Amino acid sequence: MRMMRAVAAESVKLRSLPAVCATVVGTIAAAIALAAAIAASATDATDAVQVTLATIPFLQVGTILLGVLAVATEYQGSQIRTTLTATPTRTVLLAGKTLAYLATATITSVIAVGAGLATAGITLSVRDSAFMANVNAWQVAGAALYLVLIGLLSFVLAVLFRSLIPPLVTMLALVLIASPLLARTTEHARWLPDRAGSLLYLPVADSVLTAGTGALVLLAWITLTATTAATAFVNRDA
C-alpha cells in the first residue's frame, strides 16, 4: 500500500514539473521533426523503420534529461526533505521514484518512436517509396526499450550525484562525445553502455555482442550504478 502511494505521489510530482512536461513534449516533437527531415532527404531504398532508427541517437538526449530531472529537481531546493518527511522509508521512496520514471519514460519513448515511424511513413509515401517495406517490429520495440534504459542510467546517476549538472554532463559527454570517438579508435568501445544497448535496435549486430548480450551489458551498468546509488541514498543525509 505504501508503495502504491509512493508511486502515485511521484507520478503526480513528475507531471506537475514544467521541465519534465517540456522534455516529454520536446522529445516527441523532435522525433516527428527528425523523422520528417531524414525521410525527406532519404534515398528510395530507405524505409520508415530505417528512418526511425536514425533518430534514436538524438532522441536519447530527451530520455537522459528526463531521467536526471526525475531526481535532481528535488535537490535544487529543500523539496527532498519534505519528500522524506512524507515518505520516511527511503527504499520505498526510491522505488516509487524509479517506477514513476519508468512509466513516464516508457510512455514518452513509445509515443516518440511511434510518432517518428508514422511521420517517416507518411513522408516517404508522398515520394512513392516502399515506406513500410521489411518492417522489423523487434527493432522498433528495441529502440523504445533502449531509450528507457539509457534514461534509467541517467536516473540512477542523478540519485548518486544528488544534482542536475554532473549526471547530465556525464551522460551527454558519454553518448555524444566519448562513445563515438572511442568507437573509432578501439573495439573495446562496444562495452560502453550506450554502444552495447544500441544493439537492441541496430540492424547489424556487433561481432562479439548480440542484441540480447548487449542489453545485458547495459543492464549491468545500470545495476552497478543503481546499487551504489541506492546504498548512498539510504545511508547518507538528505
- Rounded average pLDDT over 88-110: 94
Q: Which of 50, 15, 52 is nearest to 30 (CA)?
A: 52
Distance between CA atoms of 145 and 74, rounded to whole angstroms? 26
Q: What ranges do the domains of the chain cover?
A: 2-178
Distance between CA atoms of 156 and 45, rounded to whole angstroms? 40
Choice between 47 and 194, residue whose per-residue pLDDT is larger: 194
**Grid coordinates given for 182:** 572511442
Q: Would you say 105 and 66 are in contact if contact means Cβ atoms under 8 Å apart? A: yes
> 105: exposed, middle or buried (C-beta count within 10 Å: 0-12, 13-18, 19+)?
buried
- Rounded average pLDDT over 220-233: 96
| Contacts for 26 with CB less than 8 Å, ≥ 6 apart | 62
- Rounded average pLDDT over 109-118: 96
Residue-wise pLDDT tens digits, 135-171: 678 899 999 999 999 999 999 999 999 999 999 999 9
State the CB neighbour count (10 A cutoff) for residue 77.
9
Residue 234 has pLDDT above 60, yes or no: yes
| Chain position carrying cell 528507457 | 148
**Grid coordinates given for 189:** 568501445
Phi, psi of 236 (to 5 degrees): -95, 170
Distance between CA atoms of 33 and 86, rounded to whole angstroms? 41
Q: What is the pTM of this model?
A: 0.94
Per-residue pLDDT band at 84 (split at 50, 70, 90): confident
DSSP conformation letters of the chain: -HHHHHHHHHHHHHHH-HHHHHHHHHHHHHHHHHHHHHHHT--TT--HHHHHHHHHHHHHHHHHHHHHHHHHGGGSSSHHHHHHHHS--HHHHHHHHHHHHHHHHHHHHHHHHHHHHHHHHHHHHHTT--TTTT--HHHHHHHHHHHHHHHHHHHHHHHHH-SSHHHHHHHHHIIIIIHHHHHHH-GGGGGSHHHHHGGGT-SS--SS--HHHHHHHHHHHHHHHHHHHHHHHHHS--
Residue-wise pLDDT tens digits, 49-75: 999 999 999 999 999 999 999 999 888
